[in-house]
Structure 1
Amino acid sequence: MQTRLADFIRDTPEGREADEILRKCVHCGFCTATCPTYQLLGDELDGPRGRIYLIKQVLEGQPVTEKTRGHLDRCLTCRSCETTCPSGVQYGRLADIGRHVVEQRVPRRGADRAVRWALREFVPRPGLFGAAMKLGQAVRGVLPQALRDKVPEARASGTWPPPRHARRVLALAGCVQPAMAPAINAAAARVLDALGISMTEAAGAGCCGAVRLHLDDPEAARDDARRNIDAWWPEVERGEVEAIVTTASGCGVQVKDYGHLLRHDRAYADKALRVAALARDIGEIVAGEAAALKSRLGAFAGEAIPLAWHAPCSLQHGLRIRGTVEALLEAAGYRLTPVRDAHLCCGSAGTYSLLQPELSARLRENKLEALLEGGAPAIASANIGCIAHLQAGTATPVRHWIEMLDARLSGAA
């Protein structure tokens, strides 16, 4: 694709990156076949190729309208198009650049602006979000259905094994997961403990920065990254931990991108690269101990338990991890049922379900239909956003796969 970027961005780091990405696009259209919003709406401008063209126009200095912003708002940033693209177009990074320029040219007003500000300031603060979640869970029974769907029932996390192994990893607690599903990290700690690895959380670490980045506050997202790096750095620098583990695949994508996010920060660029290199999804860590895991699991007698597996977009398209969790679940005695259109997004996508509720609900309905048509009595996933979003639409239990593996190791079905 030929480009003629406008003066305001041509010689900036963002302009050079965008120009390189745009030039890789060959207009083939393969991406439209795997784009969830294009499948729903059938509008070229609500697919990756059309959005790339809109961003190109914006960066070349063409007029920007609220309609332009609307098409970009409807993008889930699921990155399914990146998996499909034969030319290696990094659509996600281009979308971040384009959205930032559009936000500057067409400022939001009224309720739209207020809601996005509230999400940026509220969701990434674990203390504030956690207090609100506890209150919501206490009065969940009397909440309107729309609010009740956003508040999962409280569940005990169980014990967290104390550090006792020579091998150690650090875990990202995150911002919403400790309040919505504290059992996930606790289960991960128990599984790793059984495999001879101690997992701890570093005081001071919090939100990965993805929420603020995708709500067009890149500097605040960098601050989140710096805070986490500072919290992890003493143990990283001393070589005391072998990995920084994420149990939410959405956070994993963000942490692995810290090197790019802070590439122009002289004080943090090298540290960010080292942290990004240490970042591992919990599935990668457990899969690395497959032999020990199979020994601990033993042989499961009888018929395998059917289970529907939902691979989050952040896992399969962002982290490019496919087949790893599936193999672990099968080793634990689960039979994964076929899932139609497994590459398509469930509609969670961070704050997307709050900002685009109609499209999000349609995507969830389609995903649940595909997940449950195999008759599985439960659904497993790997990202807190997907888990909460899917659970709000079904009575079928939706759990993190590491919780199911933990249950198997403890002898529970």
Structure 2
Amino acid sequence: MQTELAPEFQGTPEGQEAEAILRKCVHCGFCTATCPTYQLLGDELDGPRGRIYLIKQVLEGKAPTRSTQLHLDRCLTCRNCESTCPSGVQYGHLVDIGRKIVDEKVSRPALEGALRWTLKEALPSPLFGPAMKLGQSVRGLLPKKLKAKVPAPQPAGEWPARSHARKMLMLAGCVQPSMAPNINSATARVLDAAGIEAVVAPAAGCCGAVKFHLNDQKGGKVQMRANIDAWWPQVESGAVEAIVMNASGCGVTVREYGHLLRDEPAYAQKAARISALTRDLSELLPDLVPLLKDRVKAPPGVVAYHPPCTLQHGQKLRGGVEEGLRALGFDIQVAQYESHLCCGSAGTYSVLQPELAFALRDRKLGHLDAMRPKAIISANIGCITHLQSGSALPVRHWVEVLDEALGLSARA
């Protein structure tokens, strides 16, 4: 696609990156076939090709409008279009650039702006945990919509006490310890059973995704640098062999630290090293299966698996969870239709765009329920919480199911 940047973007890092991405797009339209919002709304401007055109117009000097902002807001950033694109267009990076520029030029209504500010400041805050506990204590009294955002309290169980020569850093996350604490401890127990010690750096916090994708990119990068600082002593010394992520939404962000901080002399090399060491938990399954297989007592019945977009499209990791759990004796099934589509969670999207998010959730649950499973599993806290809000079935992280089948949670 031929572009002609406006003077204000010529020679700038964001202008140069955007222009390189735009020039790869041939406007073939393959992306529209797999875009969730285009399928729901049928509007060219609510598909990747239309949004690319809007961003191109802004970069070429056309003043963005509130309508431009809304079309970009309605993008889930699921990156399904990247999996479909034959030209390798990095749409996720482009839409981050476009949103930032548009938000600098277009004011938001006061209530909308306040909600977005509250989300980006509250979710990564240390106060989120106490607030969630308070909400859980009065959960039965909450209105239906708010109750759906407050999961029932969950015991975390015991953290393994053993030490191992093999060690891996693990990011606890910002909301997961409060909303579903068993995911982290189950991860530690499963790794412990395979002779791997999960190490959490206390100073590491939010991966930075919440702020970054709500257009506080400066604030998001502050959190990214803080995590690198927290992990660096153990990385530099060689004490850990990997940084394992059990939330694919965090994983896809940490894997991009090297790209996002590439222009910062003090952090570029460190960020690239952190990204290179980052592994989704499912990537460890080939090593875990032979070590755990004889100990797993997989329960009977179908378990439906929803692959998060941040795993299958963002990190390009497909099939690992299913293959690994099947090798351990589980009857894991993936929906026959639309397994590639987003469930509608998409970080804060389910709060900011509830109608679209719930339509996608119900569509996804329809396909999952068609398999008549006894449970639904996924690999990201956002997907799990969102799907659980509309399902009568238990929705869990796959590592919790494995932890249970190993009999580890019973000791917790």
- TM-score normalised according to structure 2 size: 0.97
Give the residue type in structure 2 aligned to 1:3.
T
Residue 316 (structure 1) aligned to one of 307, 312, 316: 312
| Mapped partners of 1:412, 1:158: distance in 2 | 7
Matched, 1:95 2:92: no
Kindly tell me: are residues 167 and 374 of structure 1, through their superposed partners in 2, closer, same or farther at Cα, counting changes over 3 Å? same
Give the residue type in structure 2 aligned to 1:199.
A
| Mapped partners of 1:390, 1:328: distance in 2 | 23
Structure 1 residue 164: deviation in Å? 1.2
* Cα contact 2:189–2:408 (8 A) shared by 1: no
| Mapped partners of 1:408, 1:332: distance in 2 | 10
* Cα contact 2:289–2:328 (8 A) shared by 1: no
The correspondence of residues 365-404 of structure 1 with structure 2, limited to 5 A, is 365-404=362-401
Structure 1 residue 412: deviation in Å? 8.1
| Mapped partners of 2:220, 2:264: distance in 1 | 13
SS at 2:377 equivalent: strand
Give the residue type in structure 2 aligned to 1:26.
V
Structure 1 residue aligned with 2:229:
230
Give the residue type in structure 1 aligned to 2:215.
D
Structure 2 residue aligned with 1:31:
31
* Cα contact 1:189–1:198 (8 A) shared by 2: yes
SS at 1:56 equivalent: helix
Matched, 1:162 2:158: no
Matched, 1:15 2:8: no
| Mapped partners of 1:337, 1:406: distance in 2 | 19
The correspondence of residues 64-83 of structure 1 with structure 2, limited to 5 A, is 64-83=64-83
Matched, 1:353 2:350: yes
Deviates more, 1:14-23 or 1:157-166: 157-166
Structure 1 residue 48: deviation in Å? 0.3
Structure 1 residue 64: deviation in Å? 0.9
| Mapped partners of 1:209, 1:163: distance in 2 | 31
Structure 1 residue aligned with 2:402:
405
Structure 1 residue 200: deviation in Å? 1.6
Give the residue type in structure 2 aligned to 1:358.
E
| Mapped partners of 1:290, 1:374: distance in 2 | 25
Structure 1 residue 377: deviation in Å? 1.3
SS at 2:302 equivalent: strand
* Cα contact 1:163–1:199 (8 A) shared by 2: no
Q: Specify every segment of 5 or more residues in structure 2 that has no aligned partner in the other structure, as ranges.
A: none
Structure 1 residue 184: deviation in Å? 0.2
What do the CA deviations read for 1:109-134 (whole angstroms, capped 9, x no partner)? Answer: 31011111111111111x21101100
Structure 2 residue aligned with 1:294:
293
Give the residue type in structure 2 aligned to 1:246.
M
Structure 2 residue aligned with 1:337:
333
Structure 1 residue aligned with 2:187:
188
Structure 1 residue 171: deviation in Å? 0.4
Structure 1 residue 163: deviation in Å? 4.4
- TM-score normalised according to structure 1 size: 0.97
| Mapped partners of 2:409, 2:151: distance in 1 | 23
SS at 1:89 equivalent: coil
Q: Specify every segment of 5 or more residues in structure 1 that has no aligned partner in the other structure, as ranges.
A: none
Give the residue type in structure 1 aligned to 2:306.
H
SS at 1:245 equivalent: strand
| Mapped partners of 1:190, 1:245: distance in 2 | 14
What do the CA deviations read for 1:228-258 (whole angstroms, capped 9, x no partner)? Answer: 0111111111100001111100000000000
Give the residue type in structure 2 aligned to 1:252.
G
Deviates more, 1:106-115 or 1:339-348: 106-115
| Mapped partners of 1:402, 1:411: distance in 2 | 11
Deviates more, 1:116-125 or 1:329-338: 329-338
| Mapped partners of 2:375, 2:300: distance in 1 | 13
Structure 1 residue 296: deviation in Å? 3.2
| Mapped partners of 1:270, 1:324: distance in 2 | 29
| Mapped partners of 1:68, 1:139: distance in 2 | 40
SS at 2:346 equivalent: coil
Give the residue type in structure 1 aligned to 2:253.
Q
* Cα contact 1:332–1:408 (8 A) shared by 2: no
Structure 1 residue 107: deviation in Å? 2.1
SS at 1:7 equivalent: coil
What do the CA deviations read for 1:77-106 (whole angstroms, capped 9, x no partner)? Answer: 000000000000000000000011100110
Moved over 6 A (4+): none
RMSD: 1.3
Kindly tell me: are residues 204 and 63 of structure 1, through their superposed partners in 2, closer, same or farther at Cα, counting changes over 3 Å? same
| Mapped partners of 2:333, 2:101: distance in 1 | 43
| Mapped partners of 2:127, 2:60: distance in 1 | 41
Residue 327 (structure 1) aligned to one of 323, 329, 333: 323
What do the CA deviations read for 1:324-347 (whole angstroms, capped 9, x no partner)? Answer: 100122123221234120000000
Structure 1 residue 305: deviation in Å? 2.1
* Cα contact 1:79–1:91 (8 A) shared by 2: yes
Structure 1 residue 285: deviation in Å? 1.9
Kindly tell me: are residues 200 and 338 of structure 1, through their superposed partners in 2, closer, same or farther at Cα, counting changes over 3 Å? closer
| Mapped partners of 2:162, 2:178: distance in 1 | 23
